[in-house]
Structure 1
Amino acid sequence: MPETDLLSLQIDHVGILQSRYEQILDDHGYDGLLISSGSAPIRYGDDQSWQFQGYGPFLHWTGLTGFEHAWLLIRKGQKPLLSLYQPVDFWHASLELEQEPWLAEFEVRFSESRLAPELAGLSQLAVIGDPCLLADLPGRKNSGALCDALDETRVHKTAYEIACLAQANRLAMAGHHAARDAFLAGASEFEVNLAYQRATLQREADAPYHSIIGVNEHAGTLHYQYYDTVAPARSRSLLIDAGVRFRGYCSDITRTTAGVGEGRFGALVQGLEQLQLRLCDMVAPGVDYLDIHRKTHLGIAALLSAAGLVSGLSDDEMVSEGVTQAFFPHGIGHFLGVQVHDVAGKRVQPPADAPFLRLVRTLEPGMVVTIEPGLYFIPSLLEPLLSGSLGSHINRSLVGELRGCGGIRIEDNVVVTDSGRRNLTREAEA
């Protein structure tokens, strides 16, 4: 999409948010809402701060991920007031605000003070953000009912948001291709990470989340957080779960690659990808997301049977007896937006058979979700299964052979459209 079109969509996006927020303020009896961008807290016992990326509602309006101590004031019938902290400082550089058309929709101020802007003329003020930054402010702070309503404004993405998410996918896929090539050339986890960063031109600190890069058995730790600097003697598998943040919006993509000579594991990767594509095709308005999750377990059961990992049990029995849960322990995905695990996914708690599912809603146009089935060889989950009454149905020898590959996860980012779905990740991969 040309940049001019994106910038035009951003103006429309701001107008949509103004309308949505004004309605919510009216519904809840407020005449103004002050949003804090947040700031990076100082580490305990240190003079260094944690990495900063901004508070979700502030990013939803502005996409300005790096502006600490900024404020956004929303008022009915008036332009939003954007106050940006710009101190005179010879220790640190101040971020430059690019002059783009959307800024004309705001009253923009720059301040050398971290304090909130003047709030005169507002009799019913709401304030949201990190409570540590709101203590001395007037108004009602972080009202649960108001925050829930504001979270709903992020569920149905505008055309601008979808365009940003699509670009975040395009940038991330370049990184995934570079990471795969580095792995196949014998790179360590650390070197794979560097290849990903070089291809995406994104600092690790600016990524939407810490990239998960697991070689061999490390791929079986769902949120593996370390990078070996030396490649193993035999590189059997790579699982990389990594995204890019573009104008505040996140991609969240996972790919698994079998090492050279790993035919059996490679066949499992291909089988899971075929299942993943079928699950993506289920995304459509009116579909209960929980049904996609449950269909995943049946698909995992069929794959376990076809691969010879489990025998003597029907697909339904594998699901009901918890066999598939041991191989696929997490949920099928979540909402995606300015947060990787975007808000408002669980208006009700997930059922007992899907305890880790982050999205329990019926799909509607404008929602953006991830679809990420997995199949893992995790000792702590498989050992109770192997030692229990169902152990005779598990191919211990094959499980032992594949355990060193860790596991498989394949994840795409999918938009619910009026008539079906749009797979942003596969578009970017083409």
Structure 2
Amino acid sequence: MDNENMQSLQCEHIDSLQRRYSEAMANHQYDALLIGSGAAPLRYADDQAYPYQGFGPFVHWTGWPQLEHSWLLVQPGAKPRLWVHAADDFWHVGVTLPDEPWLDGLEVELTAEAGAPNLARIGRLAVVGDPACLTGVPGDHNPADLLASLDATRARKTAYEVLCLEQANARAAEGHRAARRAFLAGGSEFEVRLAYQAATRQGEALAPYPSIIGLNGHAGILHYQLADTEPPEVSRSLLIDAGYRYRGYGSDITRTTAAVGQGRFQALVAVVESLQRRLCEAVVPGVDFVDLHRKAHLGLAALLSAADLVRGLDEAAMVAAGITRAFFPHGLGHLLGVQVHDVSGRPSPPPVDAPFLRCTRTLEPGMVVTVEPGLYFIPSLLDPLLGSRWGRHRNLTRAHLP
């Protein structure tokens, strides 16, 4: 990767944000905007903090998701001012400013104070951030209309953001390959997790979200949060949903691997991956993402029929009856950026037949989305289907797969 090109694009990114945020402030009649990074809250009755990720708009500008107690002031026609909290603290590693040209476009001040800067003669001020960190700060706190406009600035990525996301995906892919090797070598969920982190060289606290790594039936728990330290007696399948954070931007990759000897299941995995590639090819400006989600269901219906898992119904009837939703309960995908489920993806509510869909937009140039069709065998979803009038169409002899 050309580091000089990365730095040049980041400077252009900052210039673009200055224009976008200034326009949003003018539209809502604000003279200045103060953005708080946030800070990790302490656990109740404890001196340990919760895992921390910085406030989205602050990370949008700085790329520092772990920076706490810091503030950014944006004003039309003026250099943004950045106060970086750098306490004289022997408990933790101190903050070091990167030697990068994008910081030349900001006025930067290191401060030992954790509170907001004292702003005088600033005009009408909006302050956005974690409400717990804004107590006592003058200005309008988190005005809803302005926040919606700021969120909208993140829907279309700059060239710098796209490059960061490409890097995040490339580095996560290395981890996924290592995780697959660990699984095929007989590793436990915990060992697969360690293999992923070793390959990416990024601890889970710095990753965009906690990795989901499930063997066998655990793969049917969509946000499985545990990690068995011992492998099952027979490992049949691995599902890994894990990402990497690069300069504040996160990837989100999910892959399923069938163990050796699981030919029937491997065939299903191959067909779903083929469906995913076709859906990715359909991601172009002007496409309604809701329509793409429904095409994914039609593709899964064709798979269920071809695999003889559902009998006696055509694809459209399967989708209309809600049968495919029992096998594919989540949405097709979402916007991706400094937050994994990036903001501004749902300008309108999701349709009744896709309640968990996180993107209801017509796609535009610069938008980055995930495409995640799935085929799950989850008893709590399939058993009610069996007891309904559609149960006679489900082929039980083939529905119990790894």
The question of a shared fold, defined as TM-score above 0.5 by the shorter chain, is answered with yes
The C-alpha deviation readout for 1:386-408, integer Å capped at 9, x for no partner, is 122221211112112x0xx2xxx
Partner of 2:188: 188
By how many angstroms is 1:88 displaced? 1.0
Q: Following the alignment from structure 2 to structure 1, what is the Cα–Cα distance between the partners of residues 130 and 124?
A: 20
Partner of 1:299: 299
Q: Following the alignment from structure 2 to structure 1, what is the Cα–Cα distance between the partners of residues 89 and 158?
A: 37
2:244 partner letter: V
Q: Following the alignment from structure 2 to structure 1, what is the Cα–Cα distance between the partners of residues 173 and 213?
A: 15
Partner of 1:213: 213
**Are 2:341 and 1:341 aligned?**
yes
The C-alpha deviation readout for 1:341-391, integer Å capped at 9, x for no partner, is 000111111110111001101000000000000000000000011122221
Partner of 1:426: none
By how many angstroms is 1:121 displaced? 2.0
SS at match of 2:255: strand
The C-alpha deviation readout for 1:242-283, integer Å capped at 9, x for no partner, is 000000000000111001100000000001011111111110
Q: How does 1:324-363 map to 2 (within 5 A)?
A: 324-363=324-363
Contact persistence 1:211–1:241 (CA under 8 A):
yes
Q: Following the alignment from structure 1 to structure 2, what is the Cα–Cα distance between the partners of residues 131 and 292?
A: 37
1:210 partner letter: P
Contact persistence 1:37–1:69 (CA under 8 A):
yes
Partner of 1:175: 175
Q: How does 1:134-283 map to 2 (within 5 A)?
A: 134-283=134-283
**Are 2:122 and 1:122 aligned?**
yes
Partner of 1:63: 63
Q: Following the alignment from structure 1 to structure 2, what is the Cα–Cα distance between the partners of residues 139 and 62?
A: 22
Unaligned runs of 5+ in 2: none
Partner of 1:374: 374
By how many angstroms is 1:118 displaced? 2.6
1:31 partner letter: D
Q: Following the alignment from structure 1 to structure 2, what is the Cα–Cα distance between the partners of residues 330 and 268?
A: 18
By how many angstroms is 1:39 displaced? 0.1
Partner of 1:6: 6
Q: How does 1:18-33 map to 2 (within 5 A)?
A: 18-33=18-33
SS at match of 1:374: coil
SS at match of 1:175: helix
Partner of 2:38: 38
By how many angstroms is 1:128 displaced? 0.1
1:26 partner letter: A
The C-alpha deviation readout for 1:93-151, integer Å capped at 9, x for no partner, is 22222111111000000111112123112110000001111120111110000000000
By how many angstroms is 1:302 displaced? 0.2
Contact persistence 1:66–1:95 (CA under 8 A):
no
1:147 partner letter: L
The C-alpha deviation readout for 1:279-309, integer Å capped at 9, x for no partner, is 1111011100001100011001000011110
SS at match of 1:60: helix
| C-alpha RMSD of the superposition | 0.7
SS at match of 1:371: coil
By how many angstroms is 1:90 displaced? 1.4
Q: How does 1:363-402 map to 2 (within 5 A)?
A: 363-400=363-400, 402=401
1:10 partner letter: Q
**Are 2:39 and 1:74 aligned?**
no
2:211 partner letter: S
Q: Following the alignment from structure 1 to structure 2, what is the Cα–Cα distance between the partners of residues 389 and 144?
A: 46
Q: Following the alignment from structure 2 to structure 1, what is the Cα–Cα distance between the partners of residues 186 and 377?
A: 23
Q: Following the alignment from structure 2 to structure 1, what is the Cα–Cα distance between the partners of residues 51 and 381?
A: 34
Unaligned runs of 5+ in 1: 406-430
Partner of 1:47: 47
More displaced 10-residue stretch of structure 1: 194-203 or 45-54: 45-54
SS at match of 1:218: helix
1:388 partner letter: S
Contact persistence 1:178–1:196 (CA under 8 A):
yes
Count of residues in correspondence between the two structures = 402
Q: Following the alignment from structure 2 to structure 1, what is the Cα–Cα distance between the partners of residues 115 and 43?
A: 22
Partner of 1:289: 289
Partner of 1:86: 86
Q: Following the alignment from structure 1 to structure 2, what is the Cα–Cα distance between the partners of residues 38 and 202?
A: 22
2:44 partner letter: Y
Partner of 2:99: 99
SS at match of 2:109: strand
Q: Following the alignment from structure 1 to structure 2, what is the Cα–Cα distance between the partners of residues 15 and 22?
A: 11
SS at match of 1:299: helix
SS at match of 1:20: helix
Q: Following the alignment from structure 2 to structure 1, what is the Cα–Cα distance between the partners of residues 26 and 386?
A: 58
Q: Following the alignment from structure 1 to structure 2, what is the Cα–Cα distance between the partners of residues 128 and 389?
A: 51
The C-alpha deviation readout for 1:229-252, integer Å capped at 9, x for no partner, is 001111100010000000000000
SS at match of 2:138: coil
Q: Following the alignment from structure 1 to structure 2, what is the Cα–Cα distance between the partners of residues 325 and 51?
A: 33
Q: Following the alignment from structure 1 to structure 2, what is the Cα–Cα distance between the partners of residues 53 and 351?
A: 31
Q: Following the alignment from structure 1 to structure 2, what is the Cα–Cα distance between the partners of residues 349 and 391?
A: 31
Q: TM-score, normalised by structure 1?
A: 0.93
Partner of 1:322: 322
1:349 partner letter: P
Partner of 1:133: 133
Q: Following the alignment from structure 2 to structure 1, what is the Cα–Cα distance between the partners of residues 26 and 73?
A: 15
Q: TM-score, normalised by structure 2?
A: 0.99
Q: Following the alignment from structure 2 to structure 1, what is the Cα–Cα distance between the partners of residues 116 and 33?
A: 12
Partner of 1:109: 109
